[in-house]
Amino acid sequence: MTGTRFFALLLAGLALPTVAAPLAGQEPAPIQAGVAPAPGPYAPGVDVVHYEVEVALEAGSDRFMAAVEIEVAVEGHQAVLPLDFTGLEITHLTVGGRGVPYLYEAGVVRVPLAGTAPGDTARVALAYGGTPDDGLILRENVHGAPAAFVDNWPNRTRFWLPTVDHPADKATVRYTVHAPAIWEVIANGHLVAEPAPTAPGALGAGGDRRTWIWEVGVPISTYNMVIGAAEMEIRTIGLAACGRAPASRRDDGCVEVTTWIFPEDVENAEPSFRRSAQMVDFFTDLIGDYPFEKLANVQSATRFGGMENASAIFYSEQGIASGRNIEGTVSHEIAHQWFGDAVTEASWHHLWLSEGFATYFGALFFEAADGVADFRERMEGSRMSVVGSADVERSVIDPEETDLFALLNDNNYPKGGWVLHMLRGLLGDDVFFAGIRTYYERYLHQAVLTEDFQAVMEEVSRQDLDWFFTQWLYRPGYPVFEVEERWLPGEGGAGQAEVVVRQVQSDAWPRFRVPLQLCWRTAPERTCRSAVSGSGEDVLRFELDARPQGAVALDPDGWVLKDVRP
Ligand SMILES: [Zn+2]
């Protein structure tokens, strides 16, 4: 769906009168995707615990049928479950098995949980179907074969599955999918049993079908809840995280790492995924236990290069079909299993906790596997994206932005990655990674804000890091340095290097407090000194044994996000 058509639909929606109690069968106009919700509690008084989802798919049809039973923990009095849902016809809705009046308008189904009290569990069941406007993409794949893939980010789950569509409300899910027998069906979690012929009379049109049951035993965010179905070839890459995957249902305690690829592209895909099990092991060692039951790498219809759906990563079908090596994307999406999927930002405006982390940890795999030069090249690529980007005129955490797609920017990805790199440089590897492991372990399967991460890093490092988080995440820009240097000769060849470090960035940006290394070429090895640039102009003097060869190098090992003017 193009942006232009979205706009027309939005206008049409605004023109519709408000309906107090829609009749069964009524389908309100679709809403616009990717709009940030108003600040404040999202669905007060309710917490969804589990979604029991049944979906019937047909090859070559743009329609589907579905049913969902939602288990809700009631936390407030006179609770109402506000289910995000749009563009599909509801044919049945009950609470505890009884029909209730409900309101379905402006992208929300409001279901009163009458007669419940805090501490109760309510069960809300819906049946629905139709042609989804978004979210569940029912169309031919890149090779012209029929396919069905879910693509939810940021809050497009509502186009195919009624949910409290917010990353902070995590729930377990069980999917029962009836699909044409020639299709393979993937979803989050573990396969409950091998796919079996669909029972006569099951939901949906008949025909030669198989039923697949996937179940996620740990809570995940709605944007991660996916199914995918097409003719695919399944290959096992290997086993990983053995003994370090508490969610695994395998007897050996490992997770299976697989690829699900359209038959035409199996050979093309191989180089991109051959190290994917190794990546899982790397992140498990570095961060903590693998959080989910398995890891499937799936070629799919997604508008993104890759989408990190918990334990079922969806990659752009074109990217793989083109034969391009997308190993950098693979590492990024696998890193997301820990950051984004298992520890999730509680607000989209803290997206750097997902994207900045995946950008940085994705690059760390290559530092370990391919060496520091490869890693520095990736960080330099990130730096180049930030320097000169219009995005950095705003801060990384930017609650004013209401278009959630606009958050997929140079702040949340490369600058967010650099924030972690600078924190590592500031604290050193031991403290930094100890903090990362504590943060992961403490907030596993929960949703967090930046202040939670900051508090853990302060606790583990025993340092006040408020200045660091404030200047890099809540203020725009980065430092732009100008350096002047002169040699003040002393006795016997020794002397002082006087270095004037100026921060000359835009006045709209802060002056940054930047711990820096300054190094000179000297024999037999370089001479380095530490200093802090903290104001508009710092005059630094260093006693040196001999006059260095050549000019001083500011931060030669690349620990600071910056630009240097010649
Ligand atoms: Zn990402």
For the stretch 322-365, pLDDT in tens is 999 999 999 999 999 999 999 999 999 999 999 999 999 999 99
Q: What percent of the chain has pLDDT over 70?
A: 95
For residues 222 and 162, the answer to whether their CB atoms sit within 8 Å is no
Ligand 1 midpoint to CA 332 (Å): 6
Task: Summarize pLDDT for 549-558 with one digit per residue, the tens.
Answer: 899 999 999 9
Torsional class of 253: left (φ above 0), alpha (ψ -120 to 50), beta (otherwise) = left
In angstroms, what is the span from residue 524 Cα to ligand 1's centroid? 44
**What torsion, rounded to 10 degrees, do the Cα atoms 436, 437, 442, 445 define?**
90
Give pLDDT tens digits for 123-164. 999 999 999 999 999 999 999 999 999 999 999 999 999 999
Q: Which pair of tokens denotes residue 141? A: 């794949």
pLDDT band at 21 (very low <50, low <70, confident <90, very high): very low
Look at residue 427 and give its three-state secondary structure: helix
170 HSE (CA, 13 A, CB side): 23
For residue range 466-509, list pLDDT tens digits in order: 999 999 999 999 999 999 999 999 999 999 999 999 999 999 99
Phi/psi at 196 (5° precision): -130, 155
Which tens digit of pLDDT belongs to each residue from 367-414?
A: 999 999 999 999 999 999 999 899 999 999 999 999 999 999 999 999
Q: What is the pLDDT of residue 10?
A: 33
Tell me the CA–centroid distance for residue 355 and ligand 1, in Å. Answer: 5
| Ligand 1 center to 511 CA (angstroms) | 30
Query: How far apart are the CA of 282 and the centre of ligand 1, in A?
Result: 18
Bridge partners, residue 239, by sequence: 256
Centre of ligand 1 to C-alpha 358, Å, is: 6
Q: What is the DSSP letter of 214?
A: E
Report the pLDDT value the prediction gives residue 19, as an integer from 0 to 100: 36
Contacts of 330 (CB under 8 A, 6+ apart): 272, 273, 275, 276, 279, 297, 306, 313, 315
HSE of 147, CA atoms in CB hemisphere, 13 A: 25
Strand partners, 110: 82, 103
Ligand 1 center–CA 274 separation, angstroms: 20
- CA–centroid distance, 334 to ligand 1, in Å, is 9
User: With contact defined as beta carbons under 8 Å apart, do 536 and 502 qualify?
Assistant: yes
Q: How far apart are CA 93 and CA 101, in angstroms?
A: 9
- CA of 499 relative to ligand 1 center, distance in Å: 40
Distance of CA 152 from the midpoint of ligand 1 (Å): 13
Under DSSP, the state recorded for 548 is P
Q: What is the DSSP string of 504-544?
A: -S-TTSPPP-EEEEEEEE-SSS-EEEEEEE-SSEEEEEEEE
| Average predicted confidence (pLDDT) for the chain | 94
Entry pTM? 0.94
Q: What is the pLDDT of residue 126?
A: 98
Give me ligand 1 centre to Cα 454, in Å: 21
pLDDT band, very low/low/confident/very high, at 73 (cuts 50, 70, 90): very high
346 CA from centroid of ligand 1 (Å): 16
pLDDT of 26: 58
Residue of 77, 49, 338, 33 whose CA lies nearest to 169: 49
What number of residues does the chain have?
566
